[in-house]
Amino acid sequence: MRSFTHRAPTEIVFGLDTEYEAGRLVKKHGGSKVVIVYGGGSVVRSGLLDRVKESLDKEGIEYVLFGGVQPNPLISKSKEGIALAREFGADLLLAVGGGSAIDTAKTMAIGVMNPDTEIWDFFTGAATVTKKLPVGAVLTIPAAGSETSTSCVQTEDVTKTKIGFNTEMNYPAFAIMNPALCKTVPSFQLGAGATDIMMHTLDRYFNAHFDNETTDEIAEAILRVTIRNGKKAQDNPDDIHALSELMWAGSISHNGMTGLGGTRDFAVHMFGHEISGLFNLTHGASMAVAWTPVAKYVCEVAPERYARYARNVWGVTEGTVEEMAQKGIELTTEYFRSLGMPLCAHDFLGREFTEDEIENLALHCCNYHKKKVGKLRVLDYEDMVYIFRQMNNKV
């Protein structure tokens, strides 16, 4: 194992009916005036929001509601929430939903405590977080892993720039995880969630260090479990076992465990961010579009790594190193197809990317020639243009 520092302080309360623990956990973590952050009407229609409110009422905790958070959450919506939380005098933010609600609550938690700093400056790196409000989460979809991660993603409204911002300050204080809450998640969203879980692991697994045995085998196990249970959950949304495995795999996939001792790569995520930011495509689905062209391009310099992935995750044992590596990429692509994910631009746009769009995507991805992405194979602007262009090819 190579050197690393790991901290995962989020308190996990996992199991059926755990949403009734919300009030107790809010009080335990110092909350008395709470903003409940959520998305659309699903948490209302399912009765989940009422159960959370009942739990808060039982503990005598004041709260206000902040709904309407959209997928690929916008920084403007977070700013609205920051203003509401300040006016209310909130001392804890409680997200009820998936990654978008949790990331919005994380952004609000920072904004409330830093009134003299433009919130977007934390995402661009122009400002550093030193204080925030605590955040709790009631998770409703296995996907983003935001309930246990340092990550927070927002999209700037005008430029459609989507940035992931990482700091230990982003760790939620607690996360409530009841797999039964996922039973009403639409099939496409479950597929996108399974894809996102895999990519949180794959973007750590395909890094420049190949000698971290424990970390690599944890990652491979998470991938196998996700592959097994993702399609099961889609085919039978009442399969609590499959949903529970996905939910826990999603948390482990993004709490750092699957990349300890390595170097964060996240190349596929960087390409996916630009696609979902510009076209408002579901985050996990954008990863499926980006996977094949990025993997094929990076595999050219590290076929041994991809061959190991094919062998230990997909059971591929025949062929040369190069043939096994390509087979692993193909099997992953076909799995994403089986989940109903788009695999090229035409699958979600009904057309190819234009050359202007490709240039715009690449310029955003390299921050106008200020950065490169990837560690296993470092990718510059020209590489990005090539890879985005490959997304026009039907898979």
- Sheet of 62-66: strand order equals 11-14, 174-177, 135-139, 92-97, 33-38, 62-66
pLDDT tens column, 83-128: 999 999 999 999 999 999 999 999 999 999 999 999 999 999 999 9
Tell me how far apart the alpha carbons of residues 107 and 52 are, in angstroms, rounded to a whole number. Answer: 21
Tell me how far apart the alpha carbons of residues 363 and 370 are, in angstroms, rounded to a whole number. Answer: 9
- Is the distance from CB of 305 to CB of 210 less than 8 angstroms? yes
Closest-CA residue to 273 (of 258, 255, 253, 290): 290
pLDDT tens column, 356-373: 999 999 999 999 999 999
Give the CA count within 13 Å in the CB-facing half-sphere of 20. Answer: 3
Torsion on CA atoms 255, 258, 262, 267, rounded to nearest 10: -80
Tell me how far apart the alpha carbons of residues 289 and 294 are, in angstroms, rounded to a whole number. Answer: 9
Token readout for 370 is 């200020």
- pLDDT mean across residues, the chain: 96
Closest-CA residue to 34 (of 106, 76, 88, 74): 88
Show Cβ contacts of residue 184 under 8 Å, excluding neighbours closer than 6 positions. Answer: 42, 46, 237
Position 323 scores a pLDDT of: 98
Percent over 70 (pLDDT), the chain: 100
pLDDT tens column, 273-303: 999 999 999 999 999 999 999 999 999 999 9
Q: Read off the pTM.
A: 0.94
pLDDT tens column, 319-358: 999 999 999 999 999 999 999 999 999 999 999 999 999 9
Q: Domain 187-390 is of which CATH architecture?
A: Up-down Bundle (1.20)
11-181: which CATH topology?
A: Rossmann fold (3.40.50)
What are the residue ranges spanned by the domains of the chain?
11-181, 187-390
Token readout for 20 is 């009734």
How confident is residue 263, by pLDDT bands cut at 50, 70 and 90?
Answer: confident
- Is the distance from CB of 285 to CB of 342 less than 8 angstroms? yes
